[in-house]
Structure 1
Amino acid sequence: MSVANLDGLFKPNSVAVIGANNEPGHVGRVVMENLLAGKFLGPVMPLSTTEDVILGEPAYKGVDTLPLTPDLAVLCIPPQEAPDYIYRLGRRGVKAAVALCPGYARLDPGDKWEVQEKMLAAAEDEGIRILGPSGLGLIIPAIGLNASLVKADPPKGRIAFISQSASLFTGVLDWARGHGVGFSYVVSLGDRLDLKYHDLLDYLTSDPNTRSILLYLESVSDARKFLSAARAAARNKPVLVVKPGRRRGPGGESLAKPGQGLDEVYNEAFRRAGMLRVFEIDALFDAAQTLSKSQQLRGDRLVILTNGGSVGVMSADTLVERGGKLAMPAPETARALRELIGPNWLRDGIVDMGLTASPELYREVLALLLKDKESNAVMVLHVPFAAVAGEEAAQAVIQASSKSQRPVFTCWLGHGVAEGARTLFAKAGIPSYATPDTAVRAFLDLANHRRTQELLMEMPPSIPAGFTPDTEASQGVIQAVLEDGRSELTEPEAKVVLASYGVPVISSRLAGTTEEVVEAARDLGFPVALKIVSPEIPQPFDVGGVVLDIEDEAELRQAAQAIKVRARKLELGASIKGYIVQKMGRRGAQELLVQAMVDPVFGPYIRFGQGGLAAKLSQDKAIALPPLNMSLARDLISRTRVAAFLRGLGGRPPADLDAICLTIIQVAQLIIDIPQIQEIDVNPLFADSQGVAVLGARIRVAEVMASGQDRLAIRPYPKELEEEVTLKNGRKALIRPIRPEDEPAHYEFFKHLSPEDLRFRFFGVVRELSHMEMARLTQIDYEREMAFIASSPGDEGQAETLGVVRASAKPDNSAAEFAIIVRSDQKGLGLGRMLMEKIIRYCRERGTGVIKGQALLENKGMQGLAEKVGFDVWRNTDDDVAEMYLDLKQPTTHR
């Protein structure tokens, strides 16, 4: 959240090298060589206690003897000396330091921890930011700064690259040099003692020199801060990530080091944050350039235009195999194409113009396809042919593309013969690729990025609508289990907990003997299912400990004996505690799996997929991060293969998707509300057209201190903050936190603001706000800021925004800045005061120290409102502003 003092790191005018040295190979010499070899114009001041001159530059003996205060310091001293130098640099006014302390990586864990604590304490005391240690530093090509251990001079560009890996830092620089890729910043994070991913993402989000942000990430330390920063960044510019660790075990399960979290959970976190994950370095830069050049994609259907049928078919195969959709032109487009190309133009969904297609034909056919309502983008392929000039065909594509807002991807095959065409496309800002595979991958990257951007809009409420859970009943069951010294609920207990959250369960009984089994079956009614109960057998399916569709008592007695024998034979030493008897579910229902677990990094997550005996074999599962709503639950289901069966394959009627989605939401809410729950395993969940029912369930629990919502990586929409009010004219309004879907109403709200009100709010002339600017106002992260709007139905029933107040807090929550604006035709109704009192209450409950703001001196109304709700107002005639200040630690005095 904090970008404090990061200008010292990213925009330094002067640099000091602490521990500069003349010894070849020494860190202090390598850094000096790199700084002096570049185009950095500011002074580079070496500090050395042993030498008077370093590489021709006069050396200084101490921090106090430096001729001026540097913006940035590079620490090339032993780690044990770093805390003292950080303290002295901070006292001198230095804002940032790059820690390249030789010997740090070789410290034993205890010494390393002690050095880290001292470095952090010194940095926090003096407000200095630290990059590293154990990294390679940073390079800023725009100002010629190389404050790193790598001898490189990458070109200036618009891509920021942040790497947690030192080896990849050097590898990417070498790769980029060979491919002509430029950077705005190249940063090696190292051990992330102070500066972490979220700090750099926050800074780069508003950096005008950065168009795309690329991350190489191995692990995350603070999931909520990371996702908050990533979501904010991804709303404004493409954020792409490469993360290693996709290896799986022999059973298809994800592998993870202790405490580092599952890769599949990381993958879902990236999706929810609006980031695009890629898997190779060249794909990383290809995707960055594609996203920065391409028009906005409004769907995921691609049409392929080619002069080579075979190449077109191969591209279509690649597209479909990787999950893309091939568009079939609309009937009217097909008729027009037939007139232009002839009857044989369509080959398996590809528009084939023939090898001799002229530039004019490229232009006319592409123009038709760009107007076709069935496609969202066009990929144009060109196979070299002696009778057709590739550059002229490219120029025709450029002309046709310039008249459309749809994305166009191009691939001119060949090497030297295609260079001219690729140069033309580059100048026109049209993505061009050397092979059809990379062109298809680029389209899929854009389609995936579009889906992640849609997920950014989803902000589920903290308490979903659709059911009212009996949290007290479920907590009672769990507390009794914990007091009994157990870590796992029996299946009947688990079903009671699920039922208290509205999940339909199939009745079951716990029986200790065969006679009790028979009695339970009589009470429930045949047919029944029978399961073995043993603490050593978490999944009875795995050892043949389950028998379904038992029709009578004789069959039941035989089954009870058989599953006990099988279980003991396969699980030597397993203690058999009894049986679970339950009423059979509906025949023909689809067996599903719903699980809720806790990841060590991202907290609770939900897994959905095929259930029953086939679950392990199929590995058909997808993951989502709670909180969830119906839209996110449907997205989760759609990412599994079993979704096709749920839609009604093979003559079956479609399953009740709404019931499945609601069950997923209920299970997610259960693990949110009750932090003692560590794992929920619903398997199988029967689903058909009549609804859902839980056949099997396990719940594992443990004593914990944290609250349920504190474990969430994504803070939910705080529905509990909604409040109904009545204005002086009797109009009802709902004061609530702003949501992403409020953007259209916010545009209308701005249309009802007078030029004077806009000038008072923005301290200048504002004619209109762009989509990016409006997104920043409506797509907030409740973890880091708050905006309350007053919403009320208009004359036509649609919701109108009447006013808005917002507060943005400092990282340490010591202070927050507020801003407020009320629709010009709604003034004098008491709404401004209601909004101000709402934001004051919120900040006070959140523990914020003070609220402050500014108003133009001529804005008397704002100053008067501030004084009425308890603010102190100082009028600064020199700057023509009024400063407003409210100490929240003191009782509010209304006037």
Structure 2
Amino acid sequence: MSASLAALFKPRSVAVIGASERPGSVGRLVFENLLAAGFPGAIHAVNPRHETVLGHPCVGSVEDIDGPVDLVALCIPAERIERVLRQCARKGVGAAIIHARNPAQGQRLARWQQRIRTLARNSGIRLLGPNSMGLWRARQRLNLLYNRNRLQSGPVALVSQSAGLCDALLDWCEAHGRGFSTVLTPGEALDVDLADAIRYLALEPDTRLILVYMEHIEAARAPALIAALRLAAAIKPVLVFSGGPPEEACLEGAILSTGAVLLHHVGELFPIIDRLLAGQVPASDRPLLIGNATGPDFLALNRLHAYGLEPAEPSERLLKRLRSLAPVRTRPGLVLPATLDAGALARCLDAVAEGDGLAPLLLLTPRPETDAEALVRTLIDRADHPPVTCLMGEQRVASARTLAREAGLALQDSPAAAVDVFASLTAWRRQQALVGALPEAWPRELEQPLATIAEECRRLAAQPERIDRATTLQWLERLGLRCPPATTATSLDEARARAEDMGWPLRLRPLNLWCRAPRQSVATDPASLRHHYLALFSAQQTCRDRSPVRGVLLQKLPFEAERLGLRLAVRRHPVWRSVLEASLPQARVPHCLPLPIGPAQLDVWLAHAERRPLEPLRDWLLRLSALIARIPECQALMLDEIYLDEEGPLLADARLELAPVPEDQPPYGHLLIHPWPPERVRRERLEDGSPLLIRPLRPEDARNPGRFTEQLSPESLRQRFLHPPPALTPELIAQLSILDLHREHALLALAGTEEEPAGVARYTCRDGAAEFAILVADRWQGHGIGRRLMEALMETARAYGCRRMYGLVLADNRRMLAFAGKLGFRRMPSEEPGVVRIERTL
């Protein structure tokens, strides 16, 4: 993917089609920007109505240009784009930026987009747009933006779905001396989208931080976008903010799973960026508020609670230390020195730094006795790691603000702004534990119960109306969710007999999940049992067309248990696929988390103060994630009545909806992030009896890459990479280990009792064709490991819908060519000299 985008991001020659001298035209502004940026490569103006444009020679067609053209900017009406793209295809252009808006709506638009997309794909042209603002690349001195600002170089890449917001941000940045390494808007994203741009910029050394603005996310592109964010966040900070609808609160959970940070407020965007780039991140999620007046702390506390954060309370040891330096007052969440001059502030910060690992957050106001400039100088002296600071006021602190600005020290002007900075920085620090993390589909202890439940679900999915309430609760209890003692009855006499065995009182529920009758009734004696049974049975008769299930569920509930005022649900989402929703009493909207989830991710999600009522259900949430990952037939699951007693949570009622899985749906196709698949683990024996474990690669395998690479000779590496091996940079390690398992897999072979890394095989599948590569450690070659790896890899690719597999082999690698021939691969022509293409159907 990165190589195919080189023509867009690193062109050697650029043509502006539609270049013009007409004031205010897109063609004039884009061509002016290209000339002003000083692009060092060949520049061409294309317009049949001109011989020169702004003093530059102009030709009538891109096909009239002498020499190759890597990138074109199409500054022409949408109606002409298809014809001009055909000319670009004949010229061999590598990439095109479409500035024009879409030419139509409805079915006409869909047909036009399909023709443009097909034309570009068949000719190898990468498209940015339509309706793209364009592209800025600082290192290449390339400016093809439809924008009037003078851009500067910087370490931040901006990828925005909104051209309007991009314009506003660039205008502010010009006024404040801010720069970018890359600016890009994908527009309608017929081809190059957010995921492509983020993945490319993740591997680029000129970009140290990626800033992403989202307005909408297409369902088909969501997995690739999340995979790109996972890769990028493993290499550099990634900040995401959204001005559109937040996809029913699921966006936060989706971004959290990647290790990126979702910004809720962007007023303090660049102070956050500066601190991240400088490594000035608070050491704790709980700030110690330090101020010179009361009042601002209330504003800070309100903002902290909005983020689900709580202030820290100083320990007795820290208070004793502070009071030994100067008189100190305290109130909940605030330390208030009697006099906060420069010396007192320095001593206070020293004491906190030596204390309990707390992170100070300063709230300063222009009190009559306050020397704001002296306080700022104290903070400048700590420029290596200054605390997040709010300096309120305007007239009396103007000189102090100027002093801070000249020293590169960011000061926020309100408690809320300071908390915004603090919360965003700590969110990034907290989510570093999730970088590269991949949840396991299900833990080993649930493998057997899940296999049994999955078999029963597959059988019932063809007739989902036959599933009943008792079966649903039995499955969940088998999974480890505690349920009350229960039994079923399909006649009144049977209900009486079961009730006498269980004892009174009992709760009765209809077995039929589709029944609109009261979902529970309490029977305290035979008479009330008869009344409730007949009422429930009669109500179930009314839904006979929807479900044939009849009968009642009798439950012995611990009435002394506390009922939790929350509901859990798993449902299908049009963008995020399978999501977990938690409805809490005080929440305006349900808290949402795309599945699957792992323990580390769940702990970060539950750390939010509003979600802490869910902590007793932590184990349940992990088990529900495993259930949904293992059973794609599950369309929806509602847990409606949850209690809590001394033994833990108790589930009294649940409803499950099943549906058959489409035949063309690949494994885990119902999940946003493909989990680590335990079913792909194979345990075998080599010919000498040594154990061999073949399993999917885990992200944590990349922590010690030398354990495998040290066993490889230079010749083995040359044959694997077809050229001298690249250096194992952090970017390359992340690229090889953080995979989008929906389209790529890597299998690791561990040999011997010590499970020594002996080989790795991987493939990436596009359009049904899987490109593979394999590498076996020198000392393990000749033991049959390569054959077993390839058999497992082909089996995996086949399961994920790949129809053929191919690879590239050096022509002098006779051993690999013979090995491939035994596996059924055929030699095919290759465009690269010295390289043989091998291919087989799966």
Q: Same fold (TM over 0.5)?
A: yes
- Aligned residue for 1:695, secondary structure, equals strand
Where do residues 407-806 of structure 1 align in structure 2 (5 Å cutoff)? Answer: 408-415=387-394, 431-469=410-448, 474=453, 478=457, 483-484=462-463, 489-498=467-476, 501=479, 503-506=481-484, 518=496, 521-522=499-500, 525-531=503-509, 545-559=518-532, 580-587=552-559, 588-591=561-564, 593-608=567-582, 621-633=590-602, 639=608, 641=610, 643-644=612-613, 657=616, 660-705=617-662, 706-707=665-666, 709-724=668-683, 734-742=693-701, 746=705, 778-783=737-742, 785-789=744-748, 802=757, 805=760
- Aligned residue for 2:591, secondary structure, equals strand
Q: 2:794 aligns with which of 839, 844, 863?
A: 844
The aligned residue for residue 190 of structure 2 is 193
Q: 2:262 aligns with which of 277, 293, 316?
A: 277
Q: Letter of the aligned partner of 1:844 in structure 2?
A: M
Q: Which runs of 5+ in 1 are unaligned?
A: 248-261, 648-656, 858-862, 873-881
Matches of 2:653 and 2:78 in 1, distance apart? Answer: 56
Pair 161,473 (structure 1): closer, same or farther in 2 beyond 3 Å: same
Pair 203,244 (structure 1): closer, same or farther in 2 beyond 3 Å: same
1:216 aligns with 2:213: yes
Pair 58,316 (structure 1): closer, same or farther in 2 beyond 3 Å: same
Matches of 2:404 and 2:368 in 1, distance apart? Answer: 21
Q: Letter of the aligned partner of 2:61 in structure 1?
A: G
- Report Cα offsets for 1:81-137 as digits up to 9, x if no partner: 3233223213323211011235x24x1322222221221122112211101112332
Q: 1:263 aligns with which of 248, 257, 266?
A: 248
- Aligned residue for 1:94, secondary structure, equals coil
- Aligned residue for 1:6, secondary structure, equals helix
- Report Cα offsets for 1:677-721 as digits up to 9, x if no partner: 321112224443435543212122334412551121111112233
The aligned residue for residue 889 of structure 1 is 840
Q: Letter of the aligned partner of 1:118 in structure 2?
A: R
The aligned residue for residue 332 of structure 2 is 348
**Contact map agreement 2:440 2:675 (CA 8 A) in 1:** yes
Q: Which runs of 5+ in 2 are unaligned?
A: 823-832
- Report Cα offsets for 1:453-510 as digits up to 9, x if no partner: 32335322234222234567656655665655x6573323433554565555446567
**Contact map agreement 1:548 1:584 (CA 8 A) in 2:** no
Q: 1:372 aligns with which of 330, 338, 355?
A: 355
1:172 aligns with 2:144: no
**Contact map agreement 1:367 1:401 (CA 8 A) in 2:** no
Q: Which stretch shifts more, 30-39 or 723-732?
A: 723-732
Q: Which stretch shifts more, 92-101 or 806-815?
A: 806-815
**Alpha-carbon offset, residue 605 of structure 1:** 1.5
Q: Letter of the aligned partner of 2:264 in structure 1?
A: F
Matches of 2:267 and 2:766 in 1, distance apart? Answer: 36
- Aligned residue for 1:325, secondary structure, equals coil
- Report Cα offsets for 1:403-460 as digits up to 9, x if no partner: xxx6732334444765665576667765543333212211111122233332335322
Matches of 2:195 and 2:379 in 1, distance apart? Answer: 41
- Aligned residue for 2:625, secondary structure, equals helix
The aligned residue for residue 131 of structure 1 is 128
**Contact map agreement 1:141 1:153 (CA 8 A) in 2:** no
- Report Cα offsets for 1:183-232 as digits up to 9, x if no partner: 22222221110111111011110122222222221222322111111100
1:74 aligns with 2:31: no
- Aligned residue for 1:88, secondary structure, equals helix
Where do residues 290-369 of structure 1 align in structure 2 (5 Å cutoff)? Answer: 290-311=275-296, 314-316=299-301, 318-320=303-305, 322-342=307-327, 344-358=328-342, 360-369=343-352
Q: 1:117 aligns with which of 91, 95, 114?
A: 114
Q: Letter of the aligned partner of 2:506 in structure 1?
A: V
TM-score by length of 2: 0.83
Alignment size in residue pairs? 818
**Contact map agreement 1:241 1:284 (CA 8 A) in 2:** no
Matches of 2:782 and 2:644 in 1, distance apart? Answer: 51
Matches of 2:129 and 2:302 in 1, distance apart? Answer: 46
Q: Letter of the aligned partner of 2:629 in structure 1?
A: I
**Contact map agreement 2:39 2:142 (CA 8 A) in 1:** yes
Pair 60,868 (structure 1): closer, same or farther in 2 beyond 3 Å: closer
**Contact map agreement 1:833 1:869 (CA 8 A) in 2:** no
The aligned residue for residue 160 of structure 1 is 157
Pair 69,707 (structure 1): closer, same or farther in 2 beyond 3 Å: closer
**Alpha-carbon offset, residue 598 of structure 1:** 0.9
The aligned residue for residue 878 of structure 1 is none
Pair 289,23 (structure 1): closer, same or farther in 2 beyond 3 Å: same
Q: Letter of the aligned partner of 1:805 in structure 2?
A: V
Pair 307,185 (structure 1): closer, same or farther in 2 beyond 3 Å: same
Matches of 1:699 and 1:514 in 2, distance apart? Answer: 26
Matches of 2:581 and 2:76 in 1, distance apart? Answer: 48
Matches of 1:603 and 1:233 in 2, distance apart? Answer: 22
Matches of 2:399 and 2:52 in 1, distance apart? Answer: 52
Matches of 2:688 and 2:714 in 1, distance apart? Answer: 24
Matches of 1:418 and 1:24 in 2, distance apart? Answer: 45
**Contact map agreement 1:391 1:420 (CA 8 A) in 2:** yes
**Alpha-carbon offset, residue 13 of structure 1:** 4.0
- Aligned residue for 1:670, secondary structure, equals helix
Pair 364,471 (structure 1): closer, same or farther in 2 beyond 3 Å: closer
Matches of 1:725 and 1:672 in 2, distance apart? Answer: 26
Q: Which stretch shifts more, 708-717 or 471-480?
A: 471-480
Pair 491,568 (structure 1): closer, same or farther in 2 beyond 3 Å: closer
Matches of 2:763 and 2:684 in 1, distance apart? Answer: 24
Matches of 2:519 and 2:92 in 1, distance apart? Answer: 71
Q: Which stretch shifts more, 182-191 or 717-726?
A: 717-726
Pair 351,476 (structure 1): closer, same or farther in 2 beyond 3 Å: closer
- Aligned residue for 2:655, secondary structure, equals strand
- Aligned residue for 1:460, secondary structure, equals coil
**Alpha-carbon offset, residue 551 of structure 1:** 1.9
Q: Which stretch shifts more, 201-210 or 497-506?
A: 497-506
**Contact map agreement 1:46 1:59 (CA 8 A) in 2:** yes
Pair 840,480 (structure 1): closer, same or farther in 2 beyond 3 Å: closer
TM-score by length of 1: 0.78
- Report Cα offsets for 1:561-584 as digits up to 9, x if no partner: 788999999x9x999996633213
The aligned residue for residue 825 of structure 2 is none
Pair 593,707 (structure 1): closer, same or farther in 2 beyond 3 Å: farther
**Contact map agreement 1:74 1:147 (CA 8 A) in 2:** yes
**Alpha-carbon offset, residue 537 of structure 1:** 5.9
**Contact map agreement 2:74 2:99 (CA 8 A) in 1:** yes
Pair 418,501 (structure 1): closer, same or farther in 2 beyond 3 Å: same
- Aligned residue for 1:161, secondary structure, equals strand
Pair 34,777 (structure 1): closer, same or farther in 2 beyond 3 Å: closer
**Contact map agreement 2:100 2:132 (CA 8 A) in 1:** no
Matches of 1:385 and 1:297 in 2, distance apart? Answer: 27
Give the % identical residues.
25
- Aligned residue for 1:709, secondary structure, equals coil
Matches of 2:379 and 2:759 in 1, distance apart? Answer: 47
Q: Which stretch shifts more, 803-812 or 230-239?
A: 803-812
**Contact map agreement 1:457 1:779 (CA 8 A) in 2:** yes
